[in-house]
Amino acid sequence: MVKERLVSHEIHLKQRPVGMPTEDNFQLVKVNIPDLKDGEFLVRNIWMSVDPYMRGRMREIRSYISPFQIGEPLEGGCIGQIIKSNNDRFTVGDYVLGNLGWREYWLSDGSGSDVMKIDPNLAPIQWYLGILGLTGLTAYVGLLKIAQLVDNSNSTIFVSAAAGAVGSVACQIAKIKGCRVIGSAGSQEKVKWLLDQAKVDHAFNYKEVGEGNISAELGKSCPGRIDIYFDNVGGKHLEAAIDNMKTFGRIVLCGMISQYNLTSTPTGPSNLFLAVPNRLKLQGFIVRDHYNMLNEFYVDMSKWIGEGKIKWRETVIEGIENAPKAFLSLFKGENIGKMLVKIGF
């Protein structure tokens, strides 16, 4: 009797991108899933996350996380369901959060270190990749831990890429904490979403304003200057924020999407010297250093969602074969909120 093999489609890194990645940098590969050994279980992915930070892993550089390897599958947050199991602790039908996205199926060794069970009755399962996952936690840590934002703050906060996954949550947490919130985004549709749904106090389309005029735009919209800048963009946005920071202002360096695909040497903020007279603090962070805040994050975020204080938006692309396209679209600003790939149906 010929045993039928389970075939999984995966996305491999074909070559390291130079500058803006293209679909040619990726390859759709068919692999056979081996039989399960004792203790192992098989996960069928349903959702996967694509995030700007993944661009960094496509470079071969020293970083906090090992680079992706050419000819190997990419990795990233995913939500799946267990469809076979040789492990008593993990049952067929369980939903799990893992880090082996960019593929249809994967085997866990069953040690439990690579998965977290999630409850599909509490929230839509894909939320554990976003508002109830690392995306939400990133915004939460950036504001509450790095920028030390407190309750009933009268701070003015500026968020760039404000209609993106992390930015949109940062805006709304800041509103909950009593801040005046200004957001920048790259389209009129995003600006409208920020004003109508995220309820920010002011939003502008930086493409319409012009990158050279962001500083003047902030000068007008933040006459009392900025207490906290939540930076997702870097470049001209960061420079404009530095121009407009209040004395003792804090700049949270969460990401610099404007810099990830440059082929020439980036130009740093020309006005960084203002950090001395204005006593500015700029601090970079990575969410995985702050998993000790997960419990309080779940408590707060569940409460805020229950109270209708957080609007959450997803942009969904379907099919594992379209995962590279979804990733590339992040750099074209085609997503509002969290960009997700739906794999299983």
**Residues at the contact surface with a copy of itself, assessed by CB under 8 A:** 56, 63-64, 234, 238-239, 247, 253-256, 259, 265-286, 289
Cα–Cα dist 24/162, whole Å: 30
- Between 218 and 280, name the residue whose CB sits nearer to a copy of itself: 280
Cα–Cα dist 253/282, whole Å: 7
**Smallest gap, in angstroms, from Cβ of residue 115 to a copy of itself?**
25
**Smallest gap, in angstroms, from Cβ of residue 248 to a copy of itself?**
9
- Between 134 and 336, name the residue whose CB sits nearer to a copy of itself: 134
User: Phi and psi at residue 178, in whole multiples of 5°?
Assistant: 90, 15
**Smallest gap, in angstroms, from Cβ of residue 259 to a copy of itself?**
5
User: Phi and psi at residue 128, in whole multiples of 5°?
Assistant: -70, -10
Asked if residue 146 lies in contact with residue 136, where contact means CB atoms within 8 angstroms, the answer is no
Asked if residue 232 lies in contact with residue 161, where contact means CB atoms within 8 angstroms, the answer is yes
- Between 41 and 260, name the residue whose CB sits nearer to a copy of itself: 260
Asked if residue 105 lies in contact with residue 42, where contact means CB atoms within 8 angstroms, the answer is yes
Which residue shows structure tokens 């695909």? 261
**Smallest gap, in angstroms, from Cβ of residue 61 to a copy of itself?**
9
**Smallest gap, in angstroms, from Cβ of residue 149 to a copy of itself?**
17
Which residue shows structure tokens 């990726």? 26
- Between 223 and 306, name the residue whose CB sits nearer to a copy of itself: 223
Residue 72 CB neighbour total at 10 angstroms: 11
- Between 56 and 344, name the residue whose CB sits nearer to a copy of itself: 56
